[in-house]
Structure 1
Amino acid sequence: MTTLFHCSDIHFGAEDRAALDWFAEEVRANKPDAVIITGDLTMRARHREFAAAGEWIHNLKAPVTVEVGNHDLPYFNLYERFRHPYRRYSRIEDKVEAEINLPGVSVVPLKTTARAQLRLNWSKGKVSGDALRESLRTLRSLPADTVKLIAAHHPLVDADTRSSGSTRGGLKALMALQEAGAAAVLTGHVHDPFDIERRTGSGSVRLIGAGTLSERVRENPPSYNRITIDGSAIDVEARYMI
């Protein structure tokens, strides 16, 4: 059996220190096979926020993959946003959009952030053709009996949550990922957990969202998802700090 801890929207700069300590203790006590962080490590992509996030991640002492969230692209330095958007990830660059391969289970990244968009709200999601092709290429290279999970920041299609990802190209991407063998898509952004099944043209795929470990809670307290995979069965338990 494989155990994954899925958290999101940590927002260093507006972090909940008690929630971070609680999650780190959960990792220490339970020793998951990997930790999946689906974006928004920081609040305003400041250097000090990335430094704090990097230290916290290294102290987890577990394999980690980190997706890029909309809050993690430089806010105040447009030159850096467009030319070197990932420079501030330097301390954890080996974990950014890193594929994780475990016995019988693989986690494949899908980038849903954009440096700019043809709409006013750049915080919303977008799946580019290049990003989708890269994820599909990886999915198709994996053995057929692998449980294949996608990790992204924005929900590809909206769940029944207060906030929305409004991801452009999300439905098309979801259908293509399912056809390529993805069993589930793990995301964040909306700060509330969810677990739903979405029918596509040729089958169905799980949509699994993590809550937040920051002070920016919405409908639920700070939480993370404990995901256990036994054979092809995927079980998701949202765990709340109370």
Structure 2
Amino acid sequence: MARVLHLTDLHFGFHREALIAPLLERIAALRPDLVVVGGDITHRALPVQMRKARAFLDRIEAPVICMPGNHDVPLWNPLARFFWPFAGFRRHFGPVLTPVARAGEVRVMALNSTDPYAWQRGKIRDGEIGRLIGNVDPLGTNIVALHHPLQHLPRVTKVPARRASEALYRLEASGVHVILSGHLHRWAVDALLATGRHPRLLQIQTGTALCARVSDMRNEFVVIDVDGPALTLERHVAPMESRDFDAPEIARYSRASGVWRRV
């Protein structure tokens, strides 16, 4: 069995300081094989925010991979945003924007969906879908992690990333099993599966881990336990009025029939 922990939308610089220690303690207690940090690590991509985020990540004992979000490129420095948008991210979080990692039978492949020339909307770059397909493990469980969701529910007003629909169809056909994303600060799994549009992809949209925006109502992260075709989700939630995470909400899924079903 492999255990992957998904953190996203930390928003250092506009984060809940009191929740940092409980979050680190919970991560340590869960002992993940891999931690995937799905972008918006900082709130405004300022050096002081990146240093604070780096210090947080350095306290996680498990291997960590990161990818950028739209908040991780400079907002107030137009030259940097247009000519070297990921320089600060590379300096603090690693030179590779699309890392690939393995945790037991699980292969996790990052995708950089951040478009420096659009404030919120993401994009799938030329060649990225092919790169992911080329890294698919035909014998294991394949996870793609990116910041921007590839499918939106009707209640979402933001526009999906460019080429999101193409990516979904091609990744599903290639043998990708799970998509991890953030960006919306909203949890969604079962509602996406219920649309019936991509039954061989379990899309896990995780809410914000540390952002202090009151309208989000909660902070959260998810633990994914993979055991062959079986998958267990542990959703750890901290309501905004709380200083710690509640006991996890647990849901189990299986793709033994060829498509994902909640069991």
RMSD: 1.9
Aligned counterpart for 1:237 among listed residues 199, 222, 234: 234
> Are 2:6 and 1:6 aligned?
yes
Count of aligned residue pairs for this structure pair: 234
Q: Which has the higher contact order (CA 8 A, sep 6+)?
A: 1
Match of 1:58 in 2: 58
Distance 1:65 1:218 in 2: 28
Look up the equivalent residue of 1:128 and give its one-letter code: R
Conserved? CA contact 1:184–1:206, under 8 Å: yes
> Are 2:107 and 1:106 aligned?
yes
Aligned counterpart for 1:225 among listed residues 222, 227, 245: 222
Change (3 A) 1:95 1:27: farther
Secondary structure at 2:172 match in 1: helix
Deviations, residues 51-106 of structure 1 (Å, cap 9, x unaligned): 11111001112111112100001112222222222211213215743211122101
Distance 2:114 2:23 in 1: 26
Aligned counterpart for 1:146 among listed residues 140, 143, 155: 140
| Aligned sequence identity (%) | 26
Distance 2:132 2:116 in 1: 19
Conserved? CA contact 1:191–1:218, under 8 Å: no
Distance 1:217 1:152 in 2: 24
Instruction: For residue 159 of structure 1, report the CA deviation from its aligned partner.
Output: 3.1
Match of 1:132 in 2: 129
Give the TM-score of the pair, scaled to structure 1. Answer: 0.89
Aligned 1:1-242 pairs, distance under 5 A: 1-89=1-89, 90-93=91-94, 96-117=97-118, 122-139=119-136, 142=137, 144-159=138-153, 162=156, 164=158, 166-195=160-189, 196-197=192-193, 199-200=196-197, 204-212=200-208, 213-241=210-238, 242=242
Change (3 A) 1:222 1:234: same
Change (3 A) 1:23 1:131: same
| Runs of 5+ consecutive residues of structure 1 not aligned to the other structure | none
Aligned structure 1 segments of 4 or more residues deviating by more than 6 angstroms = none
Match of 2:245 in 1: none
| Runs of 5+ consecutive residues of structure 2 not aligned to the other structure | 243-263
Instruction: For residue 25 of structure 1, report the CA deviation from its aligned partner.
Output: 0.6
Conserved? CA contact 1:108–1:150, under 8 Å: yes
Give the TM-score of the pair, scaled to structure 2. Answer: 0.82
